[in-house]
Chain A
Amino acid sequence: MTLKIMLTGSSHAAAVYSGWKAVQADYPGVEIEMFAFPVYAAQHLERRKNGTYGIFAKDALKDRVRDGLIKAYGSLTRNLNDFSHVIVAGQQLGNMQCLALLASAGVQGLRQVPPGAGALLSRPAWKAFCRKSAENSRPAGCFNEFEGSVPIILGRPIRAETIVDGDEGDIRDIAQKLKRSPDGVREAMALCFDAARETYSDAGIALFPQPVETLGRFGFSDTSFNRGSVNIRSTVVKGDAHKPTDDDAHMNAAYGAIVIRQVLDQLNDRQ
């Protein structure tokens, strides 16, 4: 039996799709169709009657981008009934708020109180904050629009650790603090991802947060996973999957391969 999967969501789907291309030989019987959009257009994705899904607003995309996507996808809509699973990539989980908290606090058993800070969080408190961040980032109700096939959600990757030298003041400050006292940050973020997974699980939705092994020493994405990063333009519109962008928000095929393997292995386990 063939598993036919739609990969949708925002530009973060590009890394997953590139990763899929790299590992698909290991998954005979699986087909993944890319149907993702730049983040500004992804907010216009909607589901209509009879399982029709896609971009219906004509002015949601600029002509050139729309033409490129139509050329790549054939049309800007799909029928969800044609797919056994839907993967939505790029969901915000509030991870930056969690990292900000770690920059200013310790977590019992995981991380010492950083120099100059005063709070030592218990593990239950830390998980509660992480749960709340994930809940606050979840758009109310939107995933329930996927009748029949509850989507699989992929968390948006944390910005790459190169941000520590970037020009975005708030995030750079967080990164610099964590870089100065990185102990236990990865372990704390692992607990954070568990908490996010639980909040989605409580709502009957499977969430795959960023794999912990893709985090660098101080909790941001390891640079090896954003080197040659890909986005919608490089993978779909221009059809050039190999053109690297190296931006700190998107990840590369190596990252995507780890993520898609996790998803497909779990689907295989279920079956």
Chain B
Amino acid sequence: MNSPYEGLPPRAFWRQGVAERTALDGLFEPRFQVSRTDRIATAGSCFAQHVGRTLREQGFNVIDAEPLPDGADAETASRFGYGLFSGRYANIYTTRQLAQLLDEANGDFVPALPVWEKSGRYFDAQRPGVEPDGLDSPEDVMELRAHHLERVRSIFAEADVFVFTFGLTEAFIHRETGTVYPTAPGTIAGQFDPDVFEFRNFTYPEILADFLKVHSRLKAINPKMRFVVTVSPVPLTATASGEHVEVATTYSKAVLRAVAGHLYHTLDDLDYFPSYEIITSQKAGGAFYETNLRSVSSVGVQTAMSVFMRAQGVDMATPATQPSEQKPKRKTKVGPPIVPRTALFSEEERRARRAAGLGPFTAEERRARRMQLRTQIAQVVTEQEDDVVCEDALLEAFNK
């Protein structure tokens, strides 16, 4: 052999693997299969919402420990943090927060300043966005938190697979106790006092140690638990590091990616899914982002998730591989929703008609109702396309 590169598959070479590729197959070769019977827990930054939702839509058994019935309004549910992750913990941007949540749920940790106030309303400092209007009293906050922690325990007691998306390295912590918060004090609620809180940009060793602690704790609960980690391709909205936001983003993502890489190479029960690489690839030329160059477009999400699904043996829509294959922005054209004839009229309407001695609904009446229902369904679908909560507003204080 003249060179160690001789005989390697095309995926090992940039020209064939990236520049000239026509499909994303081979980018992800899963270390283990995730089956539809596996109970999957999801957590992490906002990109994890896409992962969880896609898995659920494809019939995977994603745990929802605080579920609402099917008919509950999706927009309202999302606004109050329901259905986004396996628990109503909202976005968990840092690994330190994840470790802290598990410690708290297990009774090993009590966060400092757990309730933040704003304009006479009270918020859970660990997830201030899930009650957008706040609650009447600190006691109400703590009661809901106690219930939430009980549900968090149940999630990890039953999970077979834990999917986590690394989001940020930057956070604010309580100086005295080290309690980490998902948002800067003073944004949604609370007040920023530099004597009480401080900025922290978590380092590679800290993040690695935090995740290994999580791994160890979850393996103690379920020795067979497996892990799938991803790195969020969503850049920072703002940085408090003092660096340019683009430089800070690269640093943050590089650290998180390096941690994920190390975990992949050292833990046999952990897989790394390269959604970060798919979305940020030079091949995509930024086309998997919305016009703000930050939010991941629905086409980007679909492309990344279809790679994951195909690797798991589930054939979603064919992924796009380059910008020219994409449609400009969501609103993916689909056929009109199918409304079965039996669902056109309510039982009450049918009964009223029978009571009036009238015959079956006419073709014209059915057609009119079908069009009406299709319009309503289309509106709901459009709303649901946008229900990922990234809480950009929560980070505004970084700019101050």
Contact = CB atoms under 8 A, between A and B. Distances in A.
A113 B356 CA distance: 43
Interface size classification for chain B: 35 or more
B378 interface: no
Interface string B51-82: 00000000000001111110111011101101
A62 B68 contact: no
B73 A136 contact: yes
Interface in B342-386: 347-349, 351-353, 355-358
A126 B64 CA distance: 19
Interface in A91-143: 97, 100-101, 103-105, 108-109, 113, 117-125, 128-129, 132-133, 136
A122 B135 CA distance: 8
B80 A39 contact: no
A117 to B, nearest CB: 8
B327 to A, nearest CB: 29
A110 B79 CA distance: 22
Interface in B331-351: 347-349, 351
Interface string A27-40: 00000000000111
B147 interface: yes
A249 interface: yes
Nearest to B376: A136
Contact of A132 (B69, B73, B352, B357): B73
B135 A129 contact: no
Contacts of B88: 119
B140 A122 contact: yes
B76 A128 contact: yes
B208 to A, nearest CB: 33
Contacts of A11: 352
Contact of B133 (A64, A113, A124): A124
Interface in A35-73: 38-41, 61-62, 64-65
A38 B352 contact: yes
B353 A40 contact: yes
A249 B351 CA distance: 10
B357 A64 contact: yes
B356 A65 contact: yes
A97 B347 contact: no
A39 B65 contact: no
Contact of A39 (B67, B82, B349): B349
A41 B76 CA distance: 33
A168 interface: yes
A170 to B, nearest CB: 9
B157 to A, nearest CB: 13
Interface of A: 11, 38-41, 61-62, 64-65, 97, 100-101, 103-105, 108-109, 113, 117-125, 128-129, 132-133, 136, 168, 231, 233, 249
Given A61-B356, A113-B147, A136-B73, 16 more contacts: A62-B358, A97-B72, A97-B73, A101-B68, A101-B71, A103-B69, A105-B69, A108-B140, A118-B67, A119-B66, A120-B144, A121-B80, A122-B140, A124-B135, A132-B76, A168-B347
6 contacts: A38-B356, A39-B348, A39-B352, A40-B349, A122-B80, A132-B73
Which 3 A-B pairs rank lowest in CB-CB distance, beginning with the nearest? A132-B73, A119-B66, A120-B147
